[in-house]
Amino acid sequence: MALRQIREVGDNLLRKKSRPVEVVDDKIRQLMDDMYETMKNADDGIGIAAPQVGVLKRVIVIDLGEEGDGHVYKLVNPVIIKQKGEQVCREGCLSVPGVTGDVIRPKEVVVEALDENGKPIKIKAKDLFAICLSHEIDHLDGVLFIDKATEIFEDDENTEEEKK
């Protein structure tokens, strides 16, 4: 595994749409491992998308830590196929340091994707997990949380829930 540089707001690559992954191979698995290591090394993030490390592929990694089920989700070509309800959450992002914002997200989502072995999976998520999936999938379409925020805060001391 290797640490990769996290792209920050202002980098045009963050605004581009990512390409679908054709084959989940060792190169993609290495990317996911590197993304996980990079995320864990950077302010205890709980999610990261490939564009944040300079790769325009539809790949995300999520680890909710103590807030989650203990599983690290490494997802390829994730798509939200269903959503329900709404919630407002104060979000932050590894690519937008020192800033948080209130964002309206679905309360529950259903996501279809491929796992790190290329097998199709369906994930039902709610609350923080639904927020994180929505946030990271937005990255794959060149959308940052600040584009959706109803209010923006300059904030140097983010809480665990705010770091995505």
136 is catalytic: yes
Flag whether the pTM goes above 0.75.
yes
Match 């923006």 to its residue by tokens: 152
Query: Over the chain (164 residues), what is each successive 10-residue block's mean pLDDT?
Result: 94 98 98 97 90 98 87 97 97 96 98 98 97 98 98 68 46
12-162: CATH class = alpha beta
Residue 130 CB coordination number (10 Å): 25
pLDDT tens for 42-89 read 877 899 999 999 999 999 999 998 777 889 999 999 999 999 999 999
Active-site residue identified among 22, 112, 136, 161: 136
Q: Would you kindly state where each structural domain of the chain is located, as residue ranges?
A: 12-162
pLDDT of residue 66: 79
